[in-house]
Amino acid sequence: MGLRKKTFLYSIVLAVIMIAFVIGYFVLMLPSLYVDYVMDSNLESVKEIQTGYMEERSYDNLTVKNPSSVFTLEVPNAGDEVYIAGKYFKLTLTVKNEELQALLDQSRTMMGAADSLGQEENADDFTAFFEQWQDKCREIFGEQSLFAEDAPIAVSLERKEQNDGQTYRDEYYKMHMMSGDAVVYEGGVSDGKYSYTTYIAVGRTTDAFIITAFPTMTPQMEEITPVVMGSLPMIIAVIFLVVMISSGFFSGKIVNPIIRLANHAESAGLAERFEPDEFMLVSDSGDEIGALARNLHELYGKLRENYGELERKNRLLEEENERQEVFLRASSHQLKTPIAAALLLVEGMINEVGKYKDAKTYLPEVKKQLLSMRKIVEDILYLNYRAENLQQEEVAVDALVRELTENYAVQAENKGLRVTVAGDGVVSADREILKRIIDNLLSNAIQYTPKQRAIAIEISSKAVCIINYGVTIEEKLLPNVLEPFVSSDGGGKGKGLGLYVAAYYSRLMGYELKIDNIENGVQAVLSFDRRS
């Protein structure tokens, strides 16, 4: 899944969580919080009304919720009068019945003790007393009219006039049709702080009119606002916490792989040997980061291959530079002898010294020296050319060795050396380069083998082995015997190039040349197959 889809999915999940939280809050928590708030508000309203009425003994300056249904009962400490006061009225009840008066005096006595008010242990006494009141009232008022002249209680009503009609305002009226023969009238007013709505339903049956009145107090936005505002800190904290946790988890899923890739890239820049497979540890995701890791893996793999190839070419260049330097020194050394001889002959002829006066006799000698120098230069140029332009062909190694041994037959005969050639073999190689390698080995063997000794040459398709008996290489020189100018013969200047040249061309052809001491001799093995 791509990062765009992951981000979109994360946004959807986060939105669903937020919606679920908000819905859960409004469905499960807000109603209970609102009920608790209304109940606390009603309790405070009752306390304010009770405190205000106890001070003013009037509702004139009190703010009352639903004033049409709120009233206060006032029982004086003495006398036969009891008062019921509301926002718009005041009732005076005069007790004329002796039994009711006795109950009233008893209630004054029970409430007279201030310490008894509000104590739970007196609740049973008050309950029993109120039940007694109820029973007595049923008995007294059961068969008598409250408005008869001999009624046990006299009632007088005092109506409260409102201040210039400002108590209620914003009046409105609506009518709602019901099915059948019924209609609902809706009327509402407001006192500036609370709104009141009264529904009056009127219906007609075949034998009567049915009227139902239903007064209500309309909830105000101001009532729910404190509940919401009180919940805002919790809502904000929960939303912030959910967003922080979700964002931390989501950003970790995106940023951590990028950090790992950056660390791997930094390690790759600092380490000499870096394993590009480390990038594959981050490539398991199917998004753009995984694609980046796979591309980095391929890139660093190719860079590693190119770096290895570059190192190999650098080594070849170093070897080539070293070879060029050695060849330059060797060529200079080889050219010194014919140049010195030619100069000596020419100078003798010019100065007509001794036998050199006969120029016709010694000019051919000068020519011979010059031809020798040309041959040396041509050989060097040809070998350089062949090194850069290898020509592979099938070469019969035994025939090439026999050809070279015939070239050294005179030198071998003069030293009394016995040269034997055994075996045969065919190998794919550049014939001239292979000839130069074997020629250097054979020349080295004939040069360093003592007189009256033997040289054994064994040939196969995998290797050529040349053993010269009666000589060994000093142990301290053996590890460096293939390096230039390393020789056990300290007499000749410029010695020790033959084995170096042979080793160089062996590496160029992909061969392996080893020089080792054996029992009473030195063994040179030219392996055509490095695995052998």
Q: Is residue 201 part of a domain?
A: yes
Contacts of range 259-265, beta carbons closer than 8 Å, 24 or more positions apart: 261/289, 261/292, 261/293, 261/296, 264/296, 265/296
> How much is the pLDDT for 178?
78
Is-contact 342 366, C-beta < 8 A? yes
Cα of 109 vs its chain's centroid, Å: 82
- The pairing of beta strand 454-459 with beta strand 418-423: parallel
Out of 197, 219, 241, a domain closes at 219
Q: Is residue 262 part of a domain?
A: no
Residue 315's pLDDT band (cuts 50, 70, 90): confident
Q: What is the pTM of this model?
A: 0.42
In a domain, 65, yes or no: no
pLDDT in the model for residue 494: 39
Whether residue 445 sits in one domain with residue 520: yes
Residues 137 and 180 in one domain: no
The pLDDT of residue 158 is above 50: yes
C-alpha–C-alpha distance, residues 93 and 104, integer Å: 12
Asked if residue 76 and residue 151 are part of one domain, the reply reads yes
Give 390-444 pLDDT, tens digit per residue.
788 899 999 999 998 888 888 888 889 999 999 999 999 888 888 888 888 888 8
Please give the structure tokens belonging to residue 4. 């765009």
Average pLDDT, the chain: 76
DSSP notation for 356-377 = GG-HHHHHHHHHHHHHHHHHHH
Residue 154 lies in a domain: yes
Q: Domain for residue 302, yes or no?
A: no
Decide which of 219, 254, 287 is a domain's last residue.
Answer: 219
479 lies in the same domain as 504: yes
Regarding whether 466 and 529 lie in a shared domain, the answer is: yes
pLDDT for residue 467 is more than 90: yes
Q: What is the helix (H) or strand (E) element at residue 129, kind and residue range?
A: helix 123-141
Six-digit token pair at 404? Answer: 């070279």
Instruction: Taking the CA atoms of 368, 373, 377 and 379 in sequence, report the sign of the dihedral they define.
Output: positive
d(CA 218, CA 462): 111
- Which CATH number characterizes residue 483's domain? 3.30.565.10
3-state secondary structure of 488: coil
Query: What CATH number is attached to the domain comprising 214?
Result: 3.10.450.700
Question: Is position 418 within any domain?
Answer: yes
Counting every residue, how long is the chain? 532
Mean pLDDT of 470-486: 79
Residues 191, 78, single domain; the answer is no
Burial 272-286 (b: 16+ CB within 10 A, else e): eebebebbeebbebe
* pLDDT at position 276 over 70: no
Looking at residue 460, its pLDDT comes to: 92
Q: What is the pLDDT of residues 169-191, one digit of tens each?
A: 667 788 888 776 788 888 887 76
| C-alpha separations of 485 from 322, 330, 333, 481 in Å | 12, 10, 12, 9
Decide: residue 506, CB within 10 A, 0-12 exposed, 13-18 middle, 19+ buried. Answer: buried
**Do residues 504 and 399 both lie within one domain?**
yes
| Same domain assignment for residues 187 and 97 | no
Is 66 a member of any domain?
no
Long-range contacts of 525-530 (CB under 8 A, 24+ apart): 525/463, 525/464, 525/465, 526/437, 526/438, 526/441, 526/463, 526/464, 526/465, 526/502, 527/462, 527/463, 528/427, 528/429, 528/461, 528/462, 528/463, 529/462, 529/463
For the stretch 241-265, pLDDT in tens is 887 877 777 776 666 667 766 766 6
Percentage of residues of the chain with pLDDT beyond 90: 9
The answer to whether the CB of 455 falls within 8 A of the CB of 469 is yes
| Cβ–Cβ under 8 Å, residues 440 and 502 | yes
pLDDT digits (tens, 9 = 90+) for 501-526: 788 888 888 899 999 999 889 999 99
Assign 81 to helix, strand or coil: strand
Q: Tell me the three-class secondary structure of 3-48, residue by residue.
A: HHHHHHHHHHHHHHHHHHHHHHHHHHHHHHHHHHHHHHHHHHHHHH
Check: CB of residue 305 under 8 Å from CB of residue 318.
no
Which residues form the domain of 432?
Answer: 390-532
Instruction: Considering only CA atoms, give the Rg of the chain.
Output: 63
pLDDT greater at residue 204 or residue 161 = 204
Q: Are residues 490 and 400 in the same domain?
A: yes
Sign of the dihedral defined by the CA atoms of residues 279, 284, 286, 287, in that order: negative
Number of domains in the chain: 3
Dist CA 511 CA 505 (whole Å): 8
Segment among 16-25, 284-293, 369-378 with least mean pLDDT: 284-293
Query: Is the same domain home to 468 and 422?
Result: yes
Same domain, 90 and 139: yes
Q: Are residues 210 and 177 in the same domain?
A: yes
